Structure 1
Amino acid sequence: MNKYAIIDIGGKQLRVEQGRFYDARHFAPVQYALTLNKKITINRVLLIRQGSSINLGYPWLNDAAVKGRILQGCFKKKMVIQKISSKKKTRRTLGYRENITRFVVDSIHFGDKNPNKY
């Protein structure tokens, strides 16, 4: 827990650490070419903490990147939606499963001259 970053991915903010895996929905960079072990670079880094120093971006840090790779594409648990009309005595049950992408964080870089180079 010495070094972590907060990234903006899929419309949400995630606190990521090196060596751990995370699930993200609407993963824009790999939405069209989802392959196993594909290397990715996430540049939307909001905050990086290294020891006792904290670096904040407004809105993102310019020279920061989180690098990782895709583990797999999977689904969340099924969301069940029930619509009930009390006066008509009718019920309708709908459901869907959200696509999510599981990725692992390999490294967190800050202060590099070229953070996009893997």
Structure 2
Amino acid sequence: MGTYAIIETGGQQLRVEPGRFYNIRHFASLISNELEQNTKILIYRVSMIRRNSDIEIGHPWLKGAVVKGRILHLYLEEKVTIYKMISKKKMRRKLGHRQKSTRFVVDSIFLNGEEIYE
């Protein structure tokens, strides 16, 4: 257990570590036209940071904490199929959609201007 942070983005909380990639349904602060490959992103909604045995918890977010990363690529998730049928009424409806997702990699975690290493 080295260094990690818990961030909030896209309506969910993620435990992120430097050098790893993660999939997010949508970034709330970015417009889909601006999302391109190698776009640098800064995430300020950091709830908690752990480095070795020190834990810092924000209420609701840590002040001065930033997670820096970049977007790897955009993609569509697997198709979700919804099938609705009402027997004896001869009603059948089949719908489906593919959710847009973004894969990004975390480059570094900063707290009060200094980078946190493992």
TM-score w.r.t. the length of structure 2 is: 0.90
Q: Secondary structure at the match of 1:29?
A: coil
Matches within 5 A, 1:85-96: 85-96=86-97
User: What is residue 59 of structure 1 aligned with on the other side?
Assistant: 60
Q: 1:91 Cα deviation (Å)?
A: 1.7
> Can you list the C-alpha shifts for 1:75-102, whole angstroms capped at 9, x where unaligned?
1111111111123132211000001111
> Aligned to 2:89, what secondary structure does the other structure show?
coil
In the TM superposition, structure 1's runs of 4+ consecutive aligned residues that sit over 6 Å from their partners are none
Structure 1 counterpart of 2:102: 101
Could you say which residue in structure 2 is the equivalent of 1:75? Answer: 76
State the secondary structure of the residue aligned to 1:62.
Answer: coil
Query: Partner residue of 1:9?
Result: 9
List gaps (5 residues or longer) in structure 2: none
> CA offsets, 1:36-67, max 9 Å, x none?
10111000000000000111011000110000
- Is 2:42 aligned against 1:29? no
Q: How far 1:112 sits from its partner (Å)? A: 1.6
Shift of 1:26: 1.9
The 3-state SS of whatever aligns with 1:23 is strand
Number of corresponding residues: 114
Relative to the length of structure 1, the TM-score reads: 0.90
